[in-house]
Amino acid sequence: MDCTENTFPMKIIARIRTDFPEKFGIPRQSGLVDTLRGEIVFEPEFRNPDAVRGLEGFSHIWLLWEFSRAVRDSWSPTVRPPRLGGNARMGVFATRSPFRPNPIGLSCVKLEGVELTADRGAVLHVAGADLLDGTPIFDIKPYVRYADSHPDALGGWTGGGNSDKLLQVECPEHLLALLPPDRRQALLGVLANDPRPHYQSDPERLYGLRFAGYNVRFTVAEDVLTVREITPEA
């Protein structure tokens, strides 16, 4: 391809399966809830097991993926980060907003295993993903600690690190018991990270979250999130 062209085709190599059928509730960054589980399933063209040879030796991987629900024909040079309450504008390239010239996301997730299957090829089991179920993945790269870790990095307007205060989650045991055991801690972690937009603080509002085949309804008063209802999806 002529390098002077202003477009470049990219192939979807895989899709991730997660417990989030909707955007609401997904952690704002990868790794915030390490009990969340996901599976990366390669597209048929890329199911050659040789393509992942050696990957099992890495503890973390980078995912390059598409904000598939945020594809637009135009873009804005500034966006309103939720962390700033939606009131202040920052340059799009100084944020991780999904509304970008190219709707590409970058996430670092924990690699918990590489499973070789007869019907789906190599399946990557990951933890801590911040992706919608079915999200297209363009590339996978190993996380290399000596090059990718920068403990002294500055956080700019984000304040550095995870400056969001965790909520106290109150969930009656009989409601939590409705979930499969391997999903309970993940849900509590998602709720503790406060899924609401930063500008919403109505203590009377009943919020709804779809997670792992269940509808979860909750309220938030000050720093306490109370689960009111958990029901299986129809």
Q: Which residues contact 145 (CB under 8 A, 6 or more apart)?
A: none
User: For the chain, what are the domain ranges?
Assistant: 14-158, 168-232
- Quick check: 92 and 77 in contact, CB under 8 A? yes
Q: Return the DSSP state at 135.
A: -
What dotted CATH number matches 168-232?
Answer: 3.30.2310.20
Give pLDDT, residue 3: 55
Two tokens, residue 201: 């603080």
Give pLDDT, residue 157: 83
Full DSSP string of 167-225: PEEE--HHHHTTS-HHHHHHHHHHHHT--S-TT---TT--EEEEETTEEEEEEEETTEE
Measured between alpha carbons, how far is 116 from 213 in angstroms, rounded to an integer?
26
Full DSSP string of 57-86: G-SEEEEEEE-TT---S---SEE--GGGTT
**What distance, in Å, lies between the first and last C-alpha atoms of the chain?**
49
**Number of residues that this document lists for the chain:** 234
Judged against a pLDDT cut of 60, whether residue 1 lies above it is answered with no
Mean pLDDT of the chain: 92
Architecture of the structural domain at 14-158: Beta Barrel (2.40)
Closest CA to 15 of 60, 50, 59, 46: 46
Which tens digit of pLDDT belongs to each residue from 37-70? 999 999 999 999 999 999 999 999 999 999 987 7
Which tens digit of pLDDT belongs to each residue from 65-104? 999 877 788 889 998 887 787 778 999 999 988 889 999 9
Distances (CA, A) of 109 to 29, 33, 195: 10, 10, 20
pLDDT band for position 7 (cuts 50, 70, 90)? confident
Phi-psi region of 134 (alpha: psi -120 to 50; beta: other; left: phi over 0): left
Measured between alpha carbons, how far is 213 from 17 in angstroms, rounded to an integer?
13
pLDDT band for position 162 (cuts 50, 70, 90)? low
Question: If residue 115 lies in a helix (H) or strand (E), which one and from where to where?
Answer: strand 104-117
Which tens digit of pLDDT belongs to each residue from 196-227? 987 778 899 999 999 999 999 999 999 999 99
- pTM score, two decimals? 0.90
Measured between alpha carbons, how far is 193 from 28 in angstroms, rounded to an integer?
9
Measured between alpha carbons, how far is 39 from 115 in angstroms, rounded to an integer?
10
Judged against a pLDDT cut of 70, whether residue 188 lies above it is answered with yes
Distances (CA, A) of 64 to 16, 137, 167, 193, 215: 11, 6, 30, 23, 29
